Structure 1
Amino acid sequence: MKQIEFGLDTFGDVTYDENGRTLHQAQVLRNIVAEGVFADQVGLDFFGVGEHHRDDFTVSAPEIVLAGIATLTKKIRLGSAVTVLSSDDPIRVFERFSTLDAISNGRAEVIVGRGSFIESFPLFGFDLNQYEVLFEEKLQLFAKLIKNTPVTWQGKTRTPLKDQDVYPKLEKAPLRTWIAVGGTPQSVRRAAHYGMPLMLAIIGGEYAAFKPFVDLYKKSLKQSGFEDAPMIGVHSPGYVAATDEQAKDECWPHYRAMVSRIGRERGWPPITREQFELGCGSDGALFVGSPQTVAKKIINAIKILELSRFDLKYSHGTIPHENLMKCIELYGKEVVPLVRAGL
């Protein structure tokens, strides 16, 4: 059976201290480095840091945070979760990740996506009306860059390139690059077109509902001339504590506040405890519970979605760093061994 990778993702949520006071973003960033180092110590395969540009998340420069973690770790792979390629420059993204790859001795990877938050577009001077074309053209260019060879490219959104080398060169090409998919068939087909690994970004509902995307991905890969399917991964929210009730009680108030804020911005109704409990159920996309409960759900998700990697998005709003460290410990030392044994 194929080897399954297990990772953790964080958006660098601004957290509380143990007394319920909001931490400074600088301290949260230092805590994220400690969490990444601890993830390596408990034997996890991947640590991902997402990019945002707003006051409730601290990480606007994932590669710098990951470089800090790289200098203190030995084995764990390090990447973004996600890099908003639409509002960045593909050459600069490649340069930053090839630098991270050098510092980490070949452990860097990138997950690119259009992003569900749009703050970066006005911040960097991009027109939201070009949402689709920006991502399509920049991904086309990035797919050339990760091959480590001189690039010739022309499009509408930036100046053309002819036989352009970009540095530093990768020691081993290509750079592992995932395409994050939130729920559109077009995005799945795009990943298959480039033969890139597919990362299913699940935030709610039932994880089995993403099975049609897996089937579409495999079908589209063959249509694009790829015989062997690259990796399929899932990024899904979760939180681990000693018991199911402890995990839900510790996670719920922070999760509710986070989702409620985002919901107000997007016109969603407030989330209820009943909805949260449903998400924590056996079919729901919230992998919240005891090690045994979470492991059982992950096993089912791996089988249904034919996964090569499962990334637990363990940060949820203001959950204190100390609680997150305990979650990481249980995930690495108990959940992952249970999953491996169950598979």
Structure 2
Amino acid sequence: MIPGFEIGVLTFGEISPDPATGMMPSPHTRMTEVLEQAVLADQVGLDAFGVGEHHRSDFVISAPPVVLAAIAQRTSHVRLFSGVTVLSSEDPVRVFQNFATVDLLSGGRAEIIAGRGSFLESFPLFGYDLADYADLYREKLDALLSIREFNPSTWPGSRHTRDLRGLDVAPRPVGDLPIWVGVGGTVASAVRAGHLGLPLALGLLLGPADSLAPAAELYRRAAVEAGHDVSGLRVSVGAHGYVGASSQSARDIMYPSFRVGMMENNHQRGAGFPLPRAAFDAQASAAGALLVGSSQEVIDKLMSYRAAYGATRVVFQIGYGGMSQAEHLAAIERIGTEVAPVLRRETVGSAA
């Protein structure tokens, strides 16, 4: 059976100046806004709400499970995910325990998206060597999966993880605690997710709308080779976006903050990324990666994502760079009331 089509939203909790006023929100204000966004997402019937993990002063969320635990107490059905958990610099035991706790608090709604991490500040902060970047992720993902499957643990340890054999790792989640593999373009990670039979979460930034489709295809091919049931595989595609009252107003609202975000919040590997308006508008076109426009325009692009990727979930990253809370909430409401119902109706019983 092909999984249904889900719609979610994601925030990094940026602390950026308002493009219009220049005012900088306090960390408390931004955290309060994140909770308000999650509550609205739940109220308008969205399927998932996620928060990113960053360890810099221009982001408010360094501990996603703590934030998701607070959200769990104010929501009733929306699934709660990390986008992403930087597993390479985390302790897999604590990752499991923290998200199992969120799962218990939420009645089985927690999900982990485990990624390598494109923002690199957590590695020196927690004493890891970037030379071990790939090995850290591979070994810790194996450990996390083993912890989820067996208790007492049977994990024998590896170069970057300790021997956990015979140890009780608690608490245990309500259900199976989904673990997705987050991929931003590293094909090897997509292939490995397929071999493991894990759900795949693709993160688009800029470029062609179908630029990661080859990774999705290799993911499915690897899953077939490993003997997994491809019909049950889940693929999520996440992209920056905004849904406005019209195509033009959506672009006019999103561009000022997104330009700030790309320049001021996107310097994890050096300098920021200048984004002229013409380049932004090209990315907002049908061929570009951004999910920005009127409700119908965004619906059309989401359907193209479903066709190109076999996507079972699409996640909007909204507000990057200091968008006002009123505009952020307006987009969430439109996604829930104008976009999601159409997508669900159009995809019921359809093949990915």
Q: How does 1:1-343 map to 2 (within 5 A)?
A: 2-16=3-17, 19-153=21-155, 154-172=157-175, 174-228=176-230, 229-261=232-264, 262=266, 266-267=270-271, 270-343=274-347
Displacement over 6 Å in runs of 4+: none
Counterpart CA distance in 1 for 2:274 and 2:318 is: 21
Instruction: Give the deviation of 1:269 after TM superposition.
Output: 5.5
Q: Which amino acid aligns with 1:108?
A: A
Structure 1 residue matching 2:34: 3-state secondary structure: helix
Residues 301/193 of structure 1: CA separation in 2 closer, same or farther (3 Å cut): same
In 2, Cα distance between equivalents of 1:248 and 1:236: 15
Deviates more, 1:70-79 or 1:226-235: 226-235
Query: C-alpha displacement at 1:143, in angstroms?
Result: 0.8
CA shift digits 1:54-102 (9 cap, x unpaired): 1221100111111111101111110100000000100000000000000
* Stretch moving more, 247-256 or 263-272: 263-272
Provide the secondary structure at the position in 2 that maps to 1:239.
strand
SS in 1 for 2:227: coil
- Structure 1: give runs of 5+ residues left out of the alignment: none
In 1, the alpha carbon distance for the partners of 2:60 and 2:187 equals: 31
Deviations 1:196-241 (A, max 9, x none): 1001111111121222112111110011221234201101110111
Q: Describe the superposition over 1:136-177 as per-residue Cα deviations: whole angstroms up to 9, x where unpaired.
A: 1100100111225322222001321212220001232x2101
Query: C-alpha distance in 2, partners of 1:296/1:47?
Result: 22
Residue type at the aligned position of 2:235: I
The offset of 1:20, in angstroms, is: 4.0
TM-score normalized with structure 2 length: 0.93
Q: How far, CA to CA, are the matches of 2:69 and 2:229 in structure 1? A: 35
Aligned mates of 1:152, 1:131 — CA distance in 2? 25
Counterpart amino acid of residue 137 in structure 1: E
Distance, in Å, in 1 between the alignment partners of 2:273 and 2:33 is: 32
SS of residue matched to 1:199: strand
Say whether the 8 Å CA contact 1:46–1:76 is kept in structure 2. yes
- Pick which of 203-212 and 137-146 moved more: 203-212
CA RMSD of aligned residues (A): 1.6
1:279–1:285 Cα contact (<8 Å) kept: yes
Structure 2 Cα separation of the partners of residues 277 and 309 of structure 1: 25
Normalised by the size of structure 1, how large is the TM-score?
0.96
Find the residue that maps to 1:161 and give its secondary structure: coil
Tell me the amino acid that sits aligned with residue 14 of structure 2. D
Percent of aligned pairs with the same amino acid? 39
The amino acid of 2:317's aligned partner reads K
Decide whether the 8 Å contact of 2:247 with 2:292 is kept in 1: yes
Gaps of 5+ in 2: 348-352
Structure 2 CA distance for aligned equivalents of residues 7 and 212 of structure 1: 23
Distance 2:60 2:135 in 1: 28
Query: 1:293-333: CA deviations, max 9, x gaps?
Result: 11111111112211111111112111011110111001111
Whether the 8 Å contact between 2:85 and 2:114 is mirrored in structure 1 is yes
